[in-house]
Amino acid sequence: MHRFDRKSKRLSWKILSYALQRIRRDYPLDRGRTPDELRQAAGVTITPTGIGGKRALQLWRDVLAPTCITVDHPRFLAYVPSAPTEAAGLFDVAVSAANVYAGSWQEGSGAVFAENEALRWLADVAGFSATAGGVFVSGGTAGNLSALIAARWNWRHHANGAYDNVRGVIIASRGTHSSIVQSARAMDADVIWVDTDPCGRMTGVATQFVIDTLSEHDKLRVFAIVATGGTTNVGVVDDLSGVGDCARNLNTWFHVDAAYGGAGLIAPSVRHLFNGIEHADSYIVDPHKWLFAPFDCCALLYANPQIARAAHTQHAEYLDSLHQDDAWNPSDYAHHLSRRARGLPFWFSLATYGTNEYQRSVEVTLDVTRAAARQISAHPDLELVMFPELSIVIFRRIGWSADQYYAWSDKVLNDGVAFVTPTTWQNEIMLRLCIVNPLTCAQDIATVLGTLK
């Protein structure tokens, strides 16, 4: 079973040429089907004797794949899309073929070395010191949880046991991503909320205001303050230097969630918004969002990785041979053990095209977003709600009810025109475009806006 026989050799080429086509050709937007429709269309797929690779590939290519919405379509503008480069997508195939175990230096040194090169670049663009380091995890959710576990370990460690049975507190804003609340739930910690300014930004002043209302005991329970470098809903960057100052004054961990917006660190036109990130204890950015890598890939960086290592290293008799020297083991820096070398497609793309191309591509998406804002402002039936700070723009269709927004969203997807979903901002349903694909052009935006009649 482990090797194709002579007859099946052609199947290898079929699979590879499908992969190549899928990466190279423009694919339609496609749309989902119900479980019943898929059951009907796919038939029985798992049988005692197997349906054969040819049939299984056909099933994927002709029946299943077309029911998955094409995330890298230039008019996929919902949620946060993903737009891998050809180099990144193809190299992901190579990474799968090599099946490297990238949890330890012992087993995956070259892969870990290359991942660390990419992490180093991400540390440098944030202004982290030479001793910074981290690991690629599956996504922002895993990255935030792992960073907060390190933060809590640090808090308890410095209390010499005094807080071992004390519930910790995370200070975050109403604009933070849902994964911060989910992390708090998983860790059985409390979240104390900071109200945002009218743009959805967490400021240092508002953070200090909340800290000042806390009892002395509650102040001691705070193990992390989280700011967001590009909120997911509207793409606003928090006052990182102000919030960071609050964290330093309170002597607590400062985490920056830049899962979506971190690409802005390499774009000269918006880099200043991130000033203060250099003082963070940890930060995350998802290359699978706006840095042109395929799913799933989040870079998690720590200013002092030794703390993360103390918090996350797993100890077991059979693992001890991994820890005999000072080797860099990616497993030690997050809540995981086995891991694929998921940073390699990103590294390969970065190495192939160079950082200048990355910078240029991010600026292209920012330019198109600004053009979208201007088109919306000029449109008689639309109203721009906020000028975009990064690459998310929110706006109203004047006079529409929630039902009309949802009906329009369904229609343009069914027509294969675009994927745009409504959002809620300040208790009002409206539309939101998120642009991370350098192939999305002003004409694509005009096409979408043209359907809002």
Residues that bind ligand PLP (CB under 6 A): 80, 139-141, 177, 179, 228, 232, 257, 259-260, 286, 298
- Closest separation in Å from C-beta 18 to ligand PLP: 26
Taking the complex as a whole, the smallest distance from the CB of residue 401 to ligand PLP amounts, in Å, to 28
- Rounded to a whole number of angstroms, the minimum distance from the CB of residue 165 to ligand PLP is 30
DSSP, collapsed to helix, strand or coil, labels residue 164 as coil
Contact 238, 175 (CB under 8 A): yes
Q: Which CB sits closer to ligand PLP, 132 or 259?
A: 259
Judged by beta carbon, residue 221 or residue 229, the one nearer ligand PLP is 229
Nearer to ligand PLP, 252 or 391 (CB): 391
Least Å distance between CB 267 and ligand PLP?
Answer: 17
Residue nearest to ligand PLP as judged by C-beta position: 140
Closest CA to 102 of 334, 437, 395: 334
State which residue, 177 or 201, has the beta carbon closest to ligand PLP: 177
Based on CB atoms, which residue is closest to ligand PLP, 178 or 427?
Answer: 178
Entry field: residues in the chain: 453
CB of 346 closer than 8 Å to CB of 413: no
**To the nearest whole angstrom, how small is the minimum distance from the Cβ of residue 64 to ligand PLP?**
23
The sheet with strand 133-137 has its strands ordered as: 133-137, 298-302, 282-285, 253-257, 222-228, 169-173, 190-194
Q: What single-letter DSSP state applies at residue 236?
A: P
Q: Which residue has the tokens 């071992």?
A: 164
Query: Which one, 220 or 334, has the nearer CB to ligand PLP?
Result: 334
Q: Cα(328)–Cα(180) distance, rounded to whole angstroms?
A: 27
Beta carbons of 288 and 264 less than 8 angstroms apart: no
CA distance 76 to 451: 15
Backbone angles phi and psi of 276, in degrees to 5: 110, -20
Count of beta carbons in the 10 Å neighbourhood of residue 187: 17
Question: Smallest distance from the beta carbon of 59 to ligand PLP, in angstroms?
Answer: 28
